[in-house]
Structure 1
Amino acid sequence: MEEKKLDLNSIIGFVLIFGILIYWFYTTQPTPEELEAQRAEQVQDSLAQAEKSQLQPAQQAVAAQPLSDSLAADAYARQVGEFAFTGVQEGVTRLENEVLLLEVSNKGGQVVRAQMKQFVNHDSLPVDLIREGNSDFNLQLTTRENRVLNTRDLYFEPEVLQEGDTRVLSMKAKAGADRYLEFRYSLKPGQYLMDFDLRSQGLSLGGDAVGLDWKLSAIRHDPSVMYENRYTRLTYRHNGNDIDKLAANGEDDDTETEVRWMSFRQHFFSSILAAAEPLPSVRMTSEDLVDGESKETAFTKTFGAETALPLTGGELSRRMFWYFGPTDLDVLKQYEDLSLADSIPFGWGIFGWINRYIFTPFYGFLSSFLPFGIAIVVMTIIVRILMSPVTYKSYLSQAKMRVLKPEITEINERLKDNAMKRQQETMKLYNKAGVSPMSGCVPAVLQLPIFYALFMFFPTSFALRQKSFLWAEDLSSYDTVAQLPFSIPFYGDHISLFPILASVAIFFYMMMTTGQQMQTQPGMPNMKFIMYLSPLLMLFFFNNYASGLSLYYFVSNLITIGIMLVIKNVILDEDKIHAQIQEQKKKPRKENRFQRKMREMMEEADKQKKGGRK
Structure 2
Amino acid sequence: MEEKKLDVKSIIGFVIIALLMVYMIYNQSPSQEEVNKEKAKKEQIEKAKATQIPEQQSAAAMPADSTVADSVKLQQLRGSLGAFAYSATLPSAKGNVTELKNPLLTLRISNKGGYIAEANINSFEQFEKGSKQRVELIKKNNADLNIQIKTKDNRILNTRDMYFEPVVTKEGENQVLTMRLKAGANQFLEYRYVMKPNDYMLDFSIRTQGLSQVLNTSAPADLEWQLKAFRNEKSVSYENRYTELVFEYEDGKDNYLGQGKDEADKAEDVTYVAFKQHFFTSILLTDTPFKTADLTSENLVKDEKLDTTYTKNFTAKMPLEFKGGELSYNMNMYYGPADFKILDSYNKNLDEVMPLGWGIFGWINKWLFIPFFTMLLNFMPHGIAIIFFTIIVRLAMSPVTYKSYVSQAKMKVLRPEIAELNAKYSKDPMKKQQETMKLYNKAGVNPMAGCLPALMQIPIFYALFQFFPSFFDLRQKNFLWADDLSSYDSIAHLPFYIPFYGNHVSLFPILASVAIFFYMKMTTGDQAMSAPPQDGMPDMSKIMKIMIYISPIMMLIFFNNYASGLSLYYFISNLITIGIMLVIKKYIVSEEKIHARIEENKSKPKKQSRFAQKMQEMMEQAQEQQNQRNQNRK
TM range, smaller chain = 0.7 to 0.9
**Cα distance in 2, alignment partners of residues 335 and 326 from structure 1:** 13
**Cα distance in 1, alignment partners of residues 224 and 578 from structure 2:** 56
**Cα distance in 2, alignment partners of residues 352 and 299 from structure 1:** 29
**Cα distance in 2, alignment partners of residues 443 and 307 from structure 1:** 48
Q: 1:608 Cα shift? A: 6.8
Q: 1:535 Cα shift? A: 1.7
Any idea what the Cα deviations from partners look like across 1:161-196, whole Å, max 9, x if unmatched? 110011111111122221111111000011101011
Q: TM-score, normalised by structure 1?
A: 0.86
The answer for the alignment partner of 1:98 in structure 2 is 103
Instruction: Say yes or no: does 1:607 pair with 2:627.
Output: yes
Classify the secondary structure of the residue corresponding to 1:543. coil
Residues 434-513 of structure 1: pairs in structure 2 closer than 5 A:
434-513=444-523
Q: RMSD across aligned C-alpha pairs, in angstroms?
A: 2.7
**Cα distance in 1, alignment partners of residues 631 and 329 from structure 2:** 79
Q: 1:325 Cα shift? A: 0.5
**Cα distance in 2, alignment partners of residues 360 and 429 from structure 1:** 46
Q: Could you say if the C-alpha distance between residues 223 and 599 of structure 1 is closer, same or farther in structure 2, counting changes exceeding 3 Å?
A: farther
**Cα distance in 1, alignment partners of residues 222 and 432 from structure 2:** 73
The answer for the alignment partner of 2:288 in structure 1 is 277
Instruction: Say yes or no: does 1:115 pair with 2:120.
Output: yes
Instruction: Say yes or no: does 1:148 pair with 2:161.
Output: no
Further displaced range: 325-334 or 567-576: 567-576
**Cα distance in 1, alignment partners of residues 521 and 68 from structure 2:** 79
Further displaced range: 503-512 or 256-265: 503-512
**Cα distance in 2, alignment partners of residues 549 and 66 from structure 1:** 52
**Cα distance in 2, alignment partners of residues 549 and 538 from structure 1:** 11
Further displaced range: 578-587 or 258-267: 578-587
Q: Given residue 597 of structure 1, which amino acid in structure 2 is its aligned partner?
A: M
**Cα distance in 1, alignment partners of residues 112 and 240 from structure 2:** 31
Classify the secondary structure of the residue corresponding to 1:554. helix
The answer for the alignment partner of 1:575 in structure 2 is 592
Classify the secondary structure of the residue corresponding to 1:126. strand
The answer for the alignment partner of 2:192 in structure 1 is 184
The answer for the alignment partner of 1:78 in structure 2 is 79
Further displaced range: 259-268 or 198-207: 198-207
Q: 1:498 Cα shift? A: 1.1
The answer for the alignment partner of 2:357 in structure 1 is 347
Instruction: Say yes or no: does 1:326 pair with 2:337.
Output: yes
Q: Given residue 113 of structure 2, which amino acid in structure 1 is its aligned partner?
A: G
Q: 1:391 Cα shift? A: 0.7
Whether the aligned pair in 1 keeps the contact of 2:441 and 2:606 (CA below 8 Å) is: no
Matching residue within 519, 522, 532 for 2:529: 519
The answer for the alignment partner of 1:206 in structure 2 is 216
Residues 158-177 of structure 1: pairs in structure 2 closer than 5 A:
158-177=166-185
Whether the aligned pair in 2 keeps the contact of 1:86 and 1:174 (CA below 8 Å) is: no
Instruction: Say yes or no: does 1:303 pair with 2:321.
Output: no
**Cα distance in 1, alignment partners of residues 70 and 412 from structure 2:** 87
Q: 1:518 Cα shift? A: 2.0
Instruction: Say yes or no: does 1:534 pair with 2:554.
Output: no
Q: 1:346 Cα shift? A: 0.7
Q: Could you say if the C-alpha distance between residues 279 and 608 of structure 1 is closer, same or farther in structure 2, counting changes exceeding 3 Å?
A: farther
Whether the aligned pair in 2 keeps the contact of 1:432 and 1:589 (CA below 8 Å) is: no
Q: Could you say if the C-alpha distance between residues 61 and 323 of structure 1 is closer, same or farther in structure 2, counting changes exceeding 3 Å?
A: closer
Matching residue within 298, 301, 311 for 1:290: 301
Q: Given residue 80 of structure 2, which amino acid in structure 1 is its aligned partner?
A: Q
Further displaced range: 422-431 or 432-441: 422-431
Further displaced range: 104-113 or 360-369: 360-369
Matching residue within 137, 149, 157 for 2:165: 157
Matching residue within 257, 262, 278 for 1:246: 257
Instruction: Say yes or no: does 1:560 pair with 2:565.
Output: no
Q: Could you say if the C-alpha distance between residues 476 and 613 of structure 1 is closer, same or farther in structure 2, counting changes exceeding 3 Å?
A: farther
Q: 1:599 Cα shift? A: 6.6
Instruction: Say yes or no: does 1:87 pair with 2:91.
Output: yes
Any idea what the Cα deviations from partners look like across 1:474-524, whole Å, max 9, x if unmatched? 111111122222222222222211111111111222223221122344542
Q: Could you say if the C-alpha distance between residues 595 and 80 of structure 1 is closer, same or farther in structure 2, counting changes exceeding 3 Å?
A: farther
**Cα distance in 2, alignment partners of residues 298 and 104 from structure 1:** 23
**Cα distance in 2, alignment partners of residues 599 and 549 from structure 1:** 50
Q: 1:97 Cα shift? A: 0.4
**Cα distance in 2, alignment partners of residues 70 and 248 from structure 1:** 43
Classify the secondary structure of the residue corresponding to 1:217. strand
Aligned length: 562
- Aligned identity (percent) is 51
Whether the aligned pair in 1 keeps the contact of 2:301 and 2:311 (CA below 8 Å) is: yes
Whether the aligned pair in 1 keeps the contact of 2:168 and 2:178 (CA below 8 Å) is: yes
Instruction: Say yes or no: does 1:543 pair with 2:590.
Output: no
Further displaced range: 225-234 or 395-404: 395-404
Classify the secondary structure of the residue corresponding to 1:481. strand
Any idea what the Cα deviations from partners look like across 1:130-187, whole Å, max 9, x if unmatched? 1010011101122233322211111111111110011111111122221111111000
Q: 1:423 Cα shift? A: 3.5
**Cα distance in 1, alignment partners of residues 552 and 628 from structure 2:** 45
The answer for the alignment partner of 2:14 in structure 1 is none
Matching residue within 385, 393, 396 for 2:403: 393
Q: Given residue 200 of structure 2, which amino acid in structure 1 is its aligned partner?
A: Y
Classify the secondary structure of the residue corresponding to 1:345. coil
Whether the aligned pair in 2 keeps the contact of 1:160 and 1:170 (CA below 8 Å) is: yes
**Cα distance in 2, alignment partners of residues 342 and 383 from structure 1:** 25
* Structure 1: tracts of 5 or more residues without a match: 1-43, 52-56
**Cα distance in 1, alignment partners of residues 408 and 202 from structure 2:** 59
Whether the aligned pair in 2 keeps the contact of 1:261 and 1:273 (CA below 8 Å) is: yes
**Cα distance in 1, alignment partners of residues 625 and 389 from structure 2:** 51
* Structure 2: tracts of 5 or more residues without a match: 1-32, 52-65, 534-538
Classify the secondary structure of the residue corresponding to 1:589. coil
Whether the aligned pair in 1 keeps the contact of 2:300 and 2:307 (CA below 8 Å) is: no
Q: Given residue 325 of structure 2, which amino acid in structure 1 is its aligned partner?
A: G
Any idea what the Cα deviations from partners look like across 1:271-316, whole Å, max 9, x if unmatched? 1111012111111111111112125521111110111111122211
Instruction: Say yes or no: does 1:316 pair with 2:327.
Output: yes
Instruction: Say yes or no: does 1:361 pair with 2:371.
Output: yes
**Cα distance in 2, alignment partners of residues 310 and 598 from structure 1:** 67
Q: Given residue 575 of structure 1, which amino acid in structure 2 is its aligned partner?
A: E
Any idea what the Cα deviations from partners look like across 1:232-283, whole Å, max 9, x if unmatched? 1001000011110113133211111110000011111101111012111111
